[in-house]
Chains A and B, each alone.
Chain A
Amino acid sequence: MSSKIKLVVIGNGPVGHNFLEYLVESGQSENYQVTVFGEEPIPAYDRVHLTAWFETQSVDDINMVSDGFYPNNNFVLHTGDKVTKIDRFKRVVISEAGLEVSYDKIIMATGSYPFVPPVPGHDRDNVFVYRTIDDLEKITAAAKTSKVGAVIGGGLLGLEAAKALMDLDLQTHVIEFAPRLMAVQVDDGGGNMLSKKIQDLGVSVHTQKNTQNIGDGDSAFHKMSFADGQELETDIIVFSAGIRPRDELARQAGLGMGARGGVVINNNCLTSDEDIYAIGEVALWDNKIYGLIAPGWSMAQAAVDHLTQTGTSEFTGADMSTKLKLMGVDVASIGDAHGTTPNSRSYTYVNDREEVYKKIVVSEDDKYLLGAVLIGDAAEYGSLLQFMLNKMELPSEPEGLILPSLDGSSSGIGVDALPDSAVLCSCMNVSKADVINAVEAGANDMSTIKACTKAATGCGGCTALVTQVLNCELEKQGVEVNTDLCEHFAYTRQDLYNLIRVGKIKSFEELLEKHGSGLGCDICKPTAANILASCWNDHVLNSGLQGIQDTNDYFMGNMQKDGTYSVVPRVPGGEITPDKLIVLGEVAKEYNLYTKITGGQRVDLFGARSEQLPDIWRALVDAGFETGHAYGKSLRTVKSCVGSTWCRYGVQDSMGLAIKLENRYKGLRSPHKFKLAVSGCTRECAEAQSKDFGIIATENGWNLYVCGNGGMKPRHADLFASDLTEEEVITYIDRICMFYVRTADRLQRTSVWMDNMEGGLEYLKSVVIDDKLGLVTELEEEMAAVVDTYQCEWKTTIDDPEKLKRFSHFVNSKSHDDNVIFTTEREQIRPAVISERITEQA
């Protein structure tokens, strides 16, 4: 205990938190007694994605702290308390709440604050800044009684704030002092194009406006007066005029400061006191403050390396190139975007129809890229950035890099030409060598690469590039990227799907004869069965289809370890009448079945022998039950809460929607099982965000989340679209489902499917919402065909004596399987273990 180094981390923002994650990764955290102070009432959240909060108003979406991170690592976290004093003589820090904590080392990660220029009236009511969740809550509250909002500052954050005001249904204005938007990152041409695009979205842009006074308005709460004599009336004002380091604590402690603020640090992020480090936006390196997240993370890593002596990384400045989506508009800026390098040349491509602006700045001899601006289409960002960072020689006509290729060929760089040191993912600082090492260690798809290198998990801008490197390496290492389904079919599942649908193939024999070899196997048969069902929706027990079903599909039950089956009737949305519940109990009692409530809000009956299944199901079907498809790769359940019908918090009828959705998608065969849930309010009692499709009620409709799952590798679903009507929810799920059925691999859950898709969520949106592939009509028709031809497989079966023959255990006897032996536990049956069998038989 006494040997532990006392470490105090001041500030619990993204950078302070990342420092702690890196500390844990270094394996040295147990040598430190760590105390963390955070001024905000909640632990670290992702400020960069603050606008995401508006979409759901849930902190969970931007929370950065994994469950139990602080207690599991024995880090003491004081939220809602800020450090007010560092006593370097007594070696203690003192907090506002009066805590006194002694230290050996300090990490100062106090961040920055939004600069509010001293314009008269800046302290009026309904004037805000945009940095914390608290700020957002205040803006949201004020927006309820407002019509017009104005953001002062047309930089990156200002435009983010404008997006937030738009989302709050305010008539939105952006006021910028400079002659263009994003003056730091983009040039005049780019700024103009950006203004144009943003005005198209309904935001009014006012450049070259110097706000001189804020006073009472006539038609709105405020009146803003500008130096040029013009005026603007608005109800809300948000200042976003730059940031300033939160350096008052450092100043009080007497640390070395920059002339215009900021704590001076060296390459190890040490301040003038060798026991105090500073990282993130409070730190001043080479007279520069870095206002982006990636440099903050590099500083955190450098500080951990130096503190624990487990690494040698240093902070030596950062490339401020950036790519982002502002209100859906792609904006990217690389290096010397303004062409200020002496004698540099530039090439510009402007397309007014598509509203695209691209410029590259190159060296005098055309050999090296110095900078670039991309507006409206930033597809070339990844390769241009690599050209600049790695000082790679440009092709002889560099303008080709930004010109649209008329023959459809790509003008980007071959990833093979990149040096190993090339940083592919600047958010997570992942180099090409890191990706190569991961591939050598066995990673062979994007979701594994993401999991083990963290590449492409930040802004995601590098996904395409990382994928290219992955594929190139796999090929180079002779890892034949064999995507054949099995030895009988030299095709992927997606290929087979197309062959079956286009060739109107209706049986496995036909598929094997036309496209395969051998007899088939337990891989390709169920896959074909599944695709045939998705396409033509014939009964799984129709002749020609039975022999290729997985045994669970064949017996329409889930085989358990002793060869008996479980029976799961459908209970849509988990809603069940007392009479039906009694039938379940009666059937379970009559056949002596073990009974358990499932996580999907229905009842599972275990221990049915195959020959009992028809009688059990006859009783259930007679009582109005249908099969629950628990045995199939298909829709399982739509979990739900009671919603606005009963719950005092519910804002929509989640129960009604859940039942509708379950009845719509029941029986659809898909590459893997999939689940839905519907919650009636943001309290999210149905746990919709852990489902393939999660629907959460809002005041205005429904938010749709996609591609989540529980299980071995849990993944939260991503927000797909907000405030949808019921019809829109159904339309989007129809389209996504059928696109998944078409394109996923065998046994691939929606999460992995989307993660492996180039472009991920954004691409999926473009296909489903914007109809980028011109597919949506087809997808909807395919879904309609499946919905229209639904039949309860069990009902069809019990009506057909021929189909019932196969359920007897023996082909030549009415006996039972004498190896199925139960014993009793907690008043119900369970399979007997070996020792129990011997006793019973003796």
Chain B
Amino acid sequence: MTTENQQWFDICNIDDILPSMGRCALFNKQQVAIFRILDQQGQEQVYAIDNYCPFSESNTLSRGLTGSITDKVVVASPIYKQHFDLNSGSCLEDESVSVKTYPVRLNGSIVQLAV
């Protein structure tokens, strides 16, 4: 995951993303869905996965509802409602499907992605 030689890029301010929601960022010509989640311990966490939903073949995952399924933090596709694990990118309903995840961090109030 996060290693020393990663180069971090500023994307936006954390306040540009509403709590428990996602926004789409354009990063290296990729559409990346970034989510801002207050975890159960009250810590602000950010997650980044592909914005592209493989089921609907549309760039929509950033517009899904977030939440938890058992111990996993997930987003639900807004079109056909499959759930994706925000940590691993894997689909809960279909093991053979997963989306890419991206290194992401909060640097102060700035959301950063890494190559």
- Chain A residues near B (Cβ < 8 Å): 487-488, 518-522, 524-526, 543, 546-548, 550-552, 554-555, 559, 561-563, 610, 805-806, 809-813, 815, 817, 819-820, 834
The winner among B59, B63, B65, B76 for most chain A CB atoms within 10 A is B65
- How many Å from the CB of A671 to the closest CB on chain B? 18
Whether the pair A559, B76 counts as a contact (CB closer than 8 A) is no
- How many Å from the CB of A395 to the closest CB on chain B? 49
Distance in angstroms between the alpha carbons of A467 and B20 in the assembled complex: 42
- How many Å from the CB of B115 to the closest CB on chain A? 16
Whether the pair A519, B26 counts as a contact (CB closer than 8 A) is no
- Which residues of chain A come closer than 8 Å to B11, judged between CB atoms? 811-812
Residue B81 lies at the interface, judged by CB distance under 8 Å to chain A: yes
Distance in angstroms between the alpha carbons of A421 and B93 in the assembled complex: 43
Whether the pair A562, B58 counts as a contact (CB closer than 8 A) is yes
- How many Å from the CB of B30 to the closest CB on chain A? 11
Minimal Cβ-Cβ distance residue in A for B31: A817
Partner of A561, one of B17, B56, B64, B66: B56
Partner of A811, one of B16, B52, B66: B16
Distance in angstroms between the alpha carbons of A805 and B23 in the assembled complex: 11
Partner of A519, one of B57, B59, B66: B66
Whether the pair A817, B59 counts as a contact (CB closer than 8 A) is yes
- Which residues of chain A come closer than 8 Å to B40, judged between CB atoms? 518-519
- How many Å from the CB of A803 to the closest CB on chain B? 11
Whether the pair A563, B60 counts as a contact (CB closer than 8 A) is yes
- Which residues of chain B come closer than 8 Å to A522, judged between CB atoms? 64-65, 67, 76, 81, 83
Whether the pair A521, B78 counts as a contact (CB closer than 8 A) is no
Whether the pair B60, A519 counts as a contact (CB closer than 8 A) is no
Given contacts A811-B34, A812-B12, contact A521 B79 (CB under 8 A): no
Distance in angstroms between the alpha carbons of A547 and B76 in the assembled complex: 13
Residue B87 lies at the interface, judged by CB distance under 8 Å to chain A: no
Distance in angstroms between the alpha carbons of A526 and B27 in the assembled complex: 30
Partner of B68, one of A521, A562, A810, A811: A521
Whether the pair B59, A561 counts as a contact (CB closer than 8 A) is no
The winner among B39, B63, B64, B70 for most chain A CB atoms within 10 A is B63
- How many Å from the CB of B47 to the closest CB on chain A? 12
Q: Which 10 pairs of residues, A with B, have the shortest CB-CB distance?
A: A521-B67, A522-B76, A551-B78, A519-B68, A811-B23, A522-B65, A563-B58, A547-B20, A518-B68, A813-B26
- Which residues of chain A come closer than 8 Å to B12, judged between CB atoms? 811-812
Chain B interface residue count, Cβ-Cβ cutoff 8 angstroms: 39
Residue B97 lies at the interface, judged by CB distance under 8 Å to chain A: no
- How many Å from the CB of A841 to the closest CB on chain B? 14
Minimal Cβ-Cβ distance residue in B for A549: B65
Whether the pair A521, B74 counts as a contact (CB closer than 8 A) is yes
Residue B46 lies at the interface, judged by CB distance under 8 Å to chain A: no
Partner of B63, one of A543, A555, A562, A834: A555
Partner of B16, one of A805, A809, A815, A819: A805
Given contacts A518-B40, A519-B67, A817-B31, contact A811 B58 (CB under 8 A): no
Q: List 27 A-B contacts (CB under 8 A).
A: A518-B40, A519-B73, A520-B68, A522-B76, A522-B83, A525-B65, A525-B67, A526-B65, A546-B21, A550-B78, A551-B60, A551-B65, A559-B63, A559-B78, A559-B79, A561-B56, A561-B58, A562-B58, A809-B59, A810-B23, A810-B25, A810-B31, A811-B12, A811-B23, A811-B34, A812-B27, A815-B26
- Which residues of chain A come closer than 8 Å to B63, judged between CB atoms? 551, 554-555, 559, 563, 610
Partner of B18, one of A546, A810, A815: A546
Residue B104 lies at the interface, judged by CB distance under 8 Å to chain A: no
Residue B49 lies at the interface, judged by CB distance under 8 Å to chain A: no
Distance in angstroms between the alpha carbons of A806 and B18 in the assembled complex: 9
- Which residues of chain B come closer than 8 Å to A806, judged between CB atoms? 18, 23
- Chain B residues near A (Cβ < 8 Å): 11-12, 16-21, 23-27, 31, 34, 37, 39-40, 52, 56-60, 63-70, 73-74, 76, 78-79, 81, 83
B interface, over-half SS? strand
Minimal Cβ-Cβ distance residue in B for A809: B24
- Which residues of chain A come closer than 8 Å to B69, judged between CB atoms? 487, 521
- Which residues of chain B come closer than 8 Å to A805, judged between CB atoms? 16
Distance in angstroms between the alpha carbons of A550 and B26 in the assembled complex: 24
Minimal Cβ-Cβ distance residue in B for A520: B67
Distance in angstroms between the alpha carbons of A487 and B18 in the assembled complex: 24
- Which residues of chain A come closer than 8 Å to B17, judged between CB atoms? 811
Distance in angstroms between the alpha carbons of A524 and B68 in the assembled complex: 11
- How many Å from the CB of A197 to the closest CB on chain B? 54
Minimal Cβ-Cβ distance residue in A for B69: A521
- Which residues of chain B come closer than 8 Å to A559, judged between CB atoms? 60, 63, 78-79
Distance in angstroms between the alpha carbons of A521 and B63 in the assembled complex: 14
- Which residues of chain B come closer than 8 Å to A820, judged between CB atoms? 59
Distance in angstroms between the alpha carbons of A521 and B11 in the assembled complex: 27
Distance in angstroms between the alpha carbons of A805 and B24 in the assembled complex: 13
Minimal Cβ-Cβ distance residue in B for A546: B18
- Which residues of chain A come closer than 8 Å to B34, judged between CB atoms? 811
- Which residues of chain A come closer than 8 Å to B58, judged between CB atoms? 561-563, 819
Distance in angstroms between the alpha carbons of A773 and B74 in the assembled complex: 42
Distance in angstroms between the alpha carbons of A245 and B43 in the assembled complex: 83
The winner among B12, B16, B58 for most chain A CB atoms within 10 A is B58
- How many Å from the CB of B112 to the closest CB on chain A? 11
Distance in angstroms between the alpha carbons of A547 and B23 in the assembled complex: 12
Whether the pair B25, A811 counts as a contact (CB closer than 8 A) is yes
Whether the pair B73, A563 counts as a contact (CB closer than 8 A) is no
Whether the pair A819, B78 counts as a contact (CB closer than 8 A) is no
- Which residues of chain B come closer than 8 Å to A563, judged between CB atoms? 56, 58-60, 63, 79
Distance in angstroms between the alpha carbons of A172 and B9 in the assembled complex: 88
- How many Å from the CB of B85 to the closest CB on chain A? 13
Distance in angstroms between the alpha carbons of A285 and B21 in the assembled complex: 73
Distance in angstroms between the alpha carbons of A344 and B78 in the assembled complex: 69
Besides the known contacts A552-B78, A563-B79, 11 further A-B residue pairs in the complex with CB atoms under 8 A apart = A548-B20, A550-B65, A551-B63, A551-B78, A559-B60, A559-B63, A563-B56, A810-B31, A811-B16, A819-B58, A820-B59
- Which residues of chain B come closer than 8 Å to A834, judged between CB atoms? 57
Minimal Cβ-Cβ distance residue in A for B61: A563
Minimal Cβ-Cβ distance residue in B for A610: B63
- Which residues of chain B come closer than 8 Å to A819, judged between CB atoms? 31, 52, 58-59
Minimal Cβ-Cβ distance residue in A for B81: A522
Whether the pair A547, B21 counts as a contact (CB closer than 8 A) is yes
Distance in angstroms between the alpha carbons of A352 and B36 in the assembled complex: 69
Whether the pair B56, A812 counts as a contact (CB closer than 8 A) is no
Distance in angstroms between the alpha carbons of A817 and B56 in the assembled complex: 15
Distance in angstroms between the alpha carbons of A820 and B31 in the assembled complex: 13
Given contacts A520-B68, A521-B65, contact A547 B18 (CB under 8 A): yes
Distance in angstroms between the alpha carbons of A559 and B62 in the assembled complex: 13
- Which residues of chain B come closer than 8 Å to A520, judged between CB atoms? 67-68
- Which residues of chain A come closer than 8 Å to B18, judged between CB atoms? 543, 546-547, 806
Whether the pair A547, B79 counts as a contact (CB closer than 8 A) is no
Minimal Cβ-Cβ distance residue in B for A525: B65
- Which residues of chain B come closer than 8 Å to A550, judged between CB atoms? 65, 78
Minimal Cβ-Cβ distance residue in A for B37: A519
Distance in angstroms between the alpha carbons of A563 and B76 in the assembled complex: 14
Distance in angstroms between the alpha carbons of A809 and B59 in the assembled complex: 10
Distance in angstroms between the alpha carbons of A276 and B70 in the assembled complex: 67
